[in-house]
Amino acid sequence: MQKTMTGTLIKESLANDLVLDLVKIEKVEVWKAENHAPDQPKYWTAIIFSTDADRFLPELSHCLKEKWYVDLNSPSEKIIVFAHKVIRYRLGDPSGRQQAIGYCREIGIPESQIDWSE
């Protein structure tokens, strides 16, 4: 079993919400997305969660819509999940962060949304 991961998932980013069965929902908030893209909704449902399910990352990558991502933290890693791709790097690793940022730009994620913390 892997270590617990935590993160925030935007419900509107999911093509299929069955992946929520694999998380413990800690909190739900509705955010007015000031930096939403024209093809994204103005209000987002933010689901703050934790999980230790081994199959969560592959399931999430198959449930996400294009041009969305979810960032997660484990005790030693930053994990960025995209539709059909997962990028992992050690916390604080600038080259790993740049790889993830580069992929965001490559798939068309708006600059204002490339903003995860470590």
Number of folded domains in the chain?
Answer: 1
DSSP codes joined into one string, 14-72? BS-GGGGGGSEEEEEEEEE-TT--TTS-SEEEEEEEEE--TTHHHHHHHHBPTT-EEEE
The pLDDT of residue 73 is 94
In sequence order, what are the beta bridge partners of 79?
A: 72, 88
Mind listing the pLDDT tens digit for each residue in 74-99? 999 999 999 999 999 999 999 999 99
| Percent of the chain topping pLDDT 90 | 86
Is 85 contained in some domain?
A: yes
The pLDDT of residue 39 is 85
Note whether 100 and 107 are within 8 A (CB): no
The answer for residues whose C-beta is within 8 angstroms of residue 106's C-beta and 6 or more apart is none
Mind listing the pLDDT tens digit for each residue in 31-69? 999 888 888 999 999 999 999 988 999 999 999 999 999
Is 90 contained in some domain?
A: yes
Note whether 78 and 71 are within 8 A (CB): yes
Is 34 contained in some domain?
A: yes
Is 32 contained in some domain?
A: yes
The pLDDT of residue 50 is 97
Is 118 contained in some domain?
A: no
Is 76 contained in some domain?
A: yes
Residue 2's pLDDT band (cuts 50, 70, 90): low
In which domain, by residue range, is 13 found?
Answer: 5-113
What backbone phi and psi angles, to 5 degrees, belong to 70?
Answer: -125, 130
Is 29 contained in some domain?
A: yes
Residue 1 has pLDDT above 70, yes or no: no
pLDDT, average across residues 17-25 = 96
The pLDDT of residue 76 is 93
